[in-house]
Structure 1
Amino acid sequence: MKKCIYLVLVIIPIIACNPEPKSLLIGNTLDGWHIDVPEMDSVPSAKNPFIMKNGNLISLGTPRGHLISDAVHKNYRLTVEYRFTAEPGNCGILVHASTPRALYKMFPKSIEVQMKHKNAGDFWVIVEDIEVDNMEERRGPKNEWGITEGKKRRITNLTDDSEKELGQWNSMTIECLNDEIKVWVNGDFVNHGHNATATMGQIAIQAEGSEVEFRKIDLEPISKLTN
């Protein structure tokens, strides 16, 4: 009996500190997000590349820019379901985003988890940094590394065949806990970074040339009790 009471006392606080996943897509609105598209500053005819349709978010790809969460997040698990709707192309999820337009007057300071077709799960560092095992093999010569324009900012993932065929839905899970970032694509563990230079920030979704549809963007806070 005492053992059962102990288990209840231990399990209940853990459950209480790990809320259910929350969708960041609210109906057919972009509530909770704001848009940063440089072209919209000076071109009156420029269109917003982020729209909601039937409850799904669509990144039209152009003009290029970002959809950025209003809220700052730390220690969470983000689950995204997406597909390229027409042609294969480029897109990404940026975590720990902060200063807007910090790179090429376009990209916010952040760490990108790549969604580009055939490269899903790569890291791209954007005025932040992160380390992985076998760093030189996956990033190139150390003297060429950097976090700004003209430097080697790409860190390749661990697999080449985790994505589904074009037009099919892919699932990507990004776990940000303290200074680590782990990534899964369709259940495959594809990347693990540590010693990240940021541990909290906004979440951003790219418009980067290709149309991408998102049917799920769920965020689940991770309790420190699970560390």
Structure 2
Amino acid sequence: MKFFPAFCLLNFMLVSGAIQAQKLPIFNGKDLSGWHADVPEKDENPGIGPSFVVRDGMLVSLGRPLGHLITDDVYENYRITAEYRFPGETGNCGILVHASTPRALYDMFPKSIEVQMMHENAGDFWCIVEDIAVENMVERRGKKEDWGIVEGKNRRILNLTDGSENPPGEWNQMIIECFQDRIKVWVNGDLVNEGFHATARKGQVAIQAEGAEVEFKKLILEPIDGLTK
């Protein structure tokens, strides 16, 4: 695969019509301006360490304490390009799109559609009080009577491929395209998931701290056809 330069860039741009351009929150490699963390454990223990840091110019999810790093702004019709890796033990993480109500599931997860990054499962959809459909739903989600978007229901929709991720410790590229009610996901150039009839079309973007450390050396959001702030 093609390797990308090891520099950090989180550059959000808003294009209004064909003429006007406006900057959205920019990750400057120094701090987390334009983002806020929601870490439930901090409610009772405000002195615990951070879940998200900037290290060596990269945005890093430390995995614990569990929680989410959430954009201050709301987006619609956009494409996210992320270059990420698990620098140590592989595990769980995800990028949440169309996020809204905080702690809507298990008093932890914001209402959203998660694009899974868990090692060997990258590109799965998880429905978090929002829903989405795919082709071959029964094959990829299980029995219809078990489907749902809340606790105790089958919220996972399997991706389309095996073997799209690089070996542990190597960099992966994930592209998430959200346009109208459709979401497409590519991992290292492979189309790994495509959904439609999403119950949300806009919202915040969130990164998880869900047990494993993940480094992001590139995380860009760009508009497809208009973008709401």
TM-score, scaled to structure 2 = 0.88
Task: Measure, in 1, the Cα distance between the counterparts of 2:132 and 2:19.
Answer: 28
Q: CA deviation at 1:200?
A: 0.0
Is 1:80 aligned to residue 82 of structure 2? yes
Question: Aligned equivalents of 1:20 and 1:70: distance in 2?
Answer: 15
Distance in 1 (CA, whole Å) between partners of 2:35 and 2:108 is 17
Q: Secondary structure at the match of 1:203?
A: strand
Tell me what 2:65 maps to: 63
1:102 counterpart (92, 95, 104): 104
Alignment match, 2:94 = 92
Q: Is 1:136 matched up with 2:125?
A: no
Match of 2:181 in 1: 179
- Are residues 217 and 22 of structure 1, via their aligned partners in 2, closer, same or farther at CA, if it must alter by over 3 Å? farther
* Structure 1: gaps spanning 5 or more residues: 1-14
Give yes or no for contact 1:110–1:126 (8 Å, CA) kept in 2. Answer: yes
Q: Which amino acid aligns with 2:201?
A: T
**1:46 Cα deviation from its structure 2 partner:** 1.4
Rounded to whole Å, the distance in 2 between the matches of 1:19 and 1:120 is: 33
Of Structure 1 and Structure 2, the greater strand share is in 2
Distance 1:138 1:21, change over 3 A: farther
Taking a change above 3 Å as real, the CA distance of residues 216 and 23 of structure 1, as seen in their structure-2 partners, is farther
- Secondary structure, aligned partner of 2:27: coil
Check conservation: 1:80, 1:214, Cα contact below 8 A: yes
- Residues 58-78 of structure 1 show CA distances to partners (whole Å, capped at 9, x for unaligned) of 101001000000010000000
Amino acid at match of 2:202: M
Q: Which residue of 2 aligns with 1:196?
A: 198
* Map 1:2-21 → 2, pairs under 5 A: 16=18
Q: Distance in 2 between matches of 1:58 and 1:83?
A: 10
Per the alignment, residue 5 of structure 2 pairs with none
Aligned to 2:208: 206
- The answer for the alignment partner of 1:53 in structure 2 is 55
1:111 corresponds in structure 2 to 113
Name structure 2 gaps, 5 residues minimum. Answer: 1-16
- Judge conservation of contact 1:23–1:219 (CA < 8 Å) in 2: no
Shift of 1:26: 1.9
Choose from 164, 167, 186 the match for 1:165.
167
Distance of aligned partners of 1:17 and 1:164 in 2 relative to their CA distance in 1, 3 Å threshold: farther
Question: Residue 25 of structure 2 contacts residue 34 of structure 2 at CA under 8 Å; is this kept in 1?
Answer: no
Q: Is the 8 A contact 2:29 2:59 kept in 1?
A: no
The TM-score with structure 1 as length reference comes to 0.89
- Compared CA separation, residues 106 and 182, structure 1 to 2 (3 A): same
- For residues 121-168 of structure 1, what are the alpha-carbon distances to aligned partners after superposition, in whole Å with 9 as ceiling and x for unaligned? 000000000000000000000000000001000000000100001110
Contact 1:124 1:155 in 2 (8 A): yes
Change (3 A) 1:139 1:18: farther
Count how many residue pairs are aligned between Structure 1 and Structure 2: 211
CA RMSD of aligned residues (A): 2.0
- Aligned partner of 1:219 in structure 2 is 221
Counterpart residue type for residue 36 of structure 1: D
Query: Take 1:195 and 1:21, find their aligned partners in 2: how far apart are those partners?
Result: 30
* Distance of 1:22 and 1:187 partners within structure 2: 27
